[in-house]
Structure 1
Amino acid sequence: MDPSDARRPPADPLDAAAYWFARDSGGLMSAAERSEFDAWRRADPAHERAYREMLDTWALTRAVPDHKLRPLLRPAAPERRFSPGRRRLAWGVGATACAAAAVGLASPGWWLASTLPAQRYATARGERRRVDLEDGSVLTLNTGTQTEVRYTRSERRVTLHPGGEIMLDVSPDASHPFIVDTEIGRVRVTGTRFNVRHDGGQMAVAVESGSVEVIAGPWWNGQRVKLPAGYGVRMAGGGETVRIQPVDVATLTAWRQGKTVFNDTPLAEVVREVNRYRAQPIQVAPALARVRISGVFDVDDTGAFLKALPALVPLRVQPRADGGADLLAR
């Protein structure tokens, strides 16, 4: 997580009020934060009202025994209906719990984390990383991936930036959908295992187990498709019709075991994939670009890939001074 994010309050006034209350009550505010807090209260009457409600709610809950307060902190069942007054009280108790957590007075579950800033996770080129999330879900990040994870009171959300790829094992929770956002589209689930890749101006989704909903295009004119296990989509976000098709998920996600698999694949495409794991790229001569190869290669040792190529294709490997290599016809 970027340390500078630790002092950024949420945009929603209610969430921000709980955030500032937690910082203040826990004795965590610096002088600079105190000035920022005062400016936030003056900036909008809604901010001051939200903070006053936070104070009033806290004053009330201090008088409630802990064994009576704890049941109120549980998430409401999806079908339960609240009147506006009760909904306000439910927010107040939930926000107070967030504040109490900051000063050691409660032990919130992951769903109380709406006042926390986004958690950022990244991998360097050639690196893979497993991230265990607070709700029990697991992210596995492939090479050169940047993500942000945020929980709110109603959903779990991951933003996948261009150039990245993640495998998600989502912990089931029907009341808090899990959403993966990219610039091309988004994926919505409640519990499943699936892979999302976002690079080259495209988004590709492959489902290993369960099912997902893929949404492409703008919210006012988007396409929605359901993907069951063993199926996938690839889309560029240009408004074209999204078509699902069977996919070999094990092959597509072999990177989790440090492998990449090719079956009668053009050499230019093979090299483009291998370059994702290299500090310096391999260049392919135009005459070799369409030559097709098959094989399983180790992404952690791309040098072995270069050594194996001359036995598969009539070419020579010309090392470059920068650490890269050129593939030239013999």
Structure 2
Amino acid sequence: MNPAAPGRHPIPPAIAEAAMGWWVELQADPVPPEVRAACLRWRAARPEHEQAWQIIASAHQRLHATGLPAALAHATLATPRSPARRQAIKALALLVFAGGGAWAVAREHPAGPWLADYRSGTGERRQLTLADGSQLTLDTRSAVDIHFDGRQRRLHLHVGRIHIATAADEAGRPFLVSTAEGSAQALGTRFSVHQHQGRSQVAVFEGAVALRPRLGAAPALILNAGQQAAFTADASDAPGTVADTEAAWHQGMLIVHAMGLADFAAELGRYRPGWLLCDPRVAGLEVSGSFPLDDTERVLEALSNTLPVQIVRRTRYWTAIRPRA
């Protein structure tokens, strides 16, 4: 069966990127046995992982007849954030799309996240000053397009999370952020937009934001400073309160209070290459504190020093949190 055939679940961009990363990793010569075994475990962990892998394999077979670029064929992941890794994965993404193995990661443009105007890699936060003076920060694994013209200022968030501090515009053009589910219009504000699978989340820190679901018929939902809400293509949820720590990632920190260890590992894993697992036997342990997102190894060490857990590493791409022996 074609893994990209209609009826199969779309592949989240993070899984697509991980599959590409593993494929590039296995181009090393030789491949360490533990790396090959870790890749097999990753493929077996979830059906979406194997589906992503099969798309890569299918595209590679089609492209093999014409020959892969040498820079890609021999690329290795010397360091998780190395330029060689990013270039290899980007090249592979372009080849997959050109070969017809498109990822179903966006409603209209499957290649959008990979060909976006600006992208951030795993563990990277990227800060930009836009043409109007607005400040934009991309969280880890995020992709955004920017379109300014005489009528509006618009960003399109393909994947991930962004933080925006809007600047005044002499021409009075509205500032909008669109997602797969709809749009958020800034009303002189500082806010964040997070693209989840099937829904978008907006948190407002200053000013106000108007939420408009793509298919919704109700009036726009106005969020004021200190409020947040999620919305689908059809409707917006009721507003809730924004925690003081919601924007901490913008400053490179993960601040939590009594968060379950499984949820904590899932959030921390967004800032690490590869796979971070949490053993179900310790999933319910609670975590509180402030943790630096730029040093996830230090965070894992802190967990092992404060909780009855141990950190098990098979490769730099496979780490598990397990009960302490």
Tell me the residue number matched to 1:142: 139
Tell me the residue number matched to 1:313: 307
Matched, 1:168 2:168: no
> What do the CA deviations read for 1:166-218 (whole angstroms, capped 9, x no partner)?
11011123731011001122101242111111124332111111111011241
SS at match of 2:228: strand
Once the 2 structures are TM-superposed, how far is the Cα of residue 222 of structure 1 from its aligned partner? 4.8
What is the alpha-carbon distance in structure 2 between the residues aligned to residue 313 and residue 223 of structure 1?
A: 48
Matched, 1:247 2:242: yes
Tell me the residue number matched to 2:36: none
Once the 2 structures are TM-superposed, how far is the Cα of residue 122 of structure 1 from its aligned partner? 1.2
Task: Look up the equivalent residue of 1:149 and give its one-letter code.
Answer: I
Larger radius of gyration: 1
Tell me the residue number matched to 2:93: none
Tell me the residue number matched to 1:93: none
Unaligned ranges ≥5, structure 1: 1-117
CA contact (8 A) 1:151 1:157 kept: yes
Task: Look up the equivalent residue of 1:199 and give its one-letter code.
Answer: H
- From 281, 296, 304, the counterpart of 1:302: 296
Unaligned ranges ≥5, structure 2: 1-114
> What do the CA deviations read for 1:148-172 (whole angstroms, capped 9, x no partner)?
000122111000012x111101112
TM-score normalised by length of structure 1: 0.59
Once the 2 structures are TM-superposed, how far is the Cα of residue 329 of structure 1 from its aligned partner? 1.8
Tell me the residue number matched to 1:197: 194
Once the 2 structures are TM-superposed, how far is the Cα of residue 310 of structure 1 from its aligned partner? 2.1
Matched, 1:232 2:228: yes
What is the alpha-carbon distance in structure 2 between the residues aligned to residue 198 and residue 270 of structure 1?
A: 19
What is the alpha-carbon distance in structure 2 between the residues aligned to residue 274 and residue 300 of structure 1?
A: 10
What is the alpha-carbon distance in structure 2 between the residues aligned to residue 288 and residue 143 of structure 1?
A: 26
Q: Which has the bigger relative contact order, CA under 8 A and spacing at least 6?
A: 2
For the aligned residue pairs, the C-alpha RMSD in angstroms reads 2.0
* Equivalent pairs, count: 209
Task: Look up the equivalent residue of 1:247 and give its one-letter code.
Answer: V
Tell me the residue number matched to 2:101: none
Tell me the residue number matched to 1:129: 126
CA contact (8 A) 1:176 1:190 kept: no
Once the 2 structures are TM-superposed, how far is the Cα of residue 224 of structure 1 from its aligned partner? 2.0
| Identity in percent | 32
CA contact (8 A) 2:182 2:233 kept: no
SS at match of 2:173: coil
CA contact (8 A) 2:213 2:236 kept: no
CA contact (8 A) 2:213 2:235 kept: no
